[in-house]
A and B are shown apart, each in its own frame.
Chain A
Amino acid sequence: MTETRRKVPGRRPAHLEMAGGKPKRQRIWEAIRTLKEFNLINCAHKADVDMDTTKTYLQTLERAGFIEDVSGKRGGHDEKRWQLARDIGMEAPRLTKEGKPVTQGMGTTNMWRVMRLTKGDFDYLEIARSASTPEHQVKPETARSYLKALHSAGYLDMVVAPQTKPAMKGGKTPARWRLLPYNRINSKKPGPRAPMIQRLKRVFDPNWAEVVFQEEADDE
Chain B
Amino acid sequence: MSRPANQTADITNVDLMHATTLRLLGRPAGSDGMAVLYGPSGFGKTQAATQAYLRHNGYFVRMSDQWTCKTFLQKILIEMDIQPEKTGAAMLDQVAQQLSASSRPLIIDEADYAADKPRLVQLIRDIHDNSYKASIILVGEEALPQKLAKWERFHSRVLDWVPAQPVSLDDARKLVPIYSEDMPVADDLLQLLVDEARGSVRRVGNNLNLIREEGLSEGWDVATLANWGNRTLYTGKAPTRRLP
Contact = CB atoms under 8 A, between A and B. Distances in A.
Contacts of B216: 168-170
Interface of A: 1, 3, 5, 7, 14-15, 17-20, 87-91, 110, 113-114, 117, 125, 128-135, 137-141, 165, 167-172, 191-193, 207
Given A88-B103, A91-B102, A125 B6 contact: yes
The 7 nearest A-B residue pairs measured at CB: A89-B102, A89-B101, A167-B217, A19-B83, A14-B83, A169-B216, A132-B8
B94 to A, nearest CB: 5
Contacts of A138: 6
A14 B85 contact: yes
Nearest to A140: B3
B178 interface: yes
Interface in B1-32: 1-3, 5-8, 10
Given A5-B78, A207-B81, 13 more contacts: A1-B74, A14-B85, A15-B94, A88-B101, A88-B103, A89-B98, A114-B50, A129-B6, A133-B51, A137-B5, A165-B217, A170-B1, A192-B79
Contacts of B62: 117
A31 to B, nearest CB: 16
Contacts of B104: 89
B50 A130 contact: yes
B189 interface: no
B101 A19 contact: no
Contact of A113 (B47, B54, B71): B54
B90 interface: yes
B57 to A, nearest CB: 9
Contact of A7 (B10, B78, B83, B90): B83
23 contacts: A15-B83, A15-B85, A15-B94, A19-B78, A19-B82, A89-B80, A89-B97, A89-B101, A90-B82, A114-B50, A114-B54, A117-B62, A132-B6, A133-B8, A137-B5, A137-B8, A140-B5, A169-B219, A170-B182, A172-B1, A191-B78, A191-B81, A207-B81
A137 B6 contact: yes
A139 B8 CA distance: 11
A192 B61 CA distance: 11
A110 B51 CA distance: 10
B98 A90 contact: yes
B5 to A, nearest CB: 5
Contacts of B84: 3, 5, 14
A98 to B, nearest CB: 21
Nearest to A135: B55
Nearest to A19: B83
B243 to A, nearest CB: 12
B75 interface: yes
Interface string B66-103: 00000100110011111111000010011001111111
A167 B90 contact: no
Given A19-B78, A192-B79, A117 B50 contact: yes
Nearest to A5: B83
Interface string B160-188: 00000000000000000010001000000
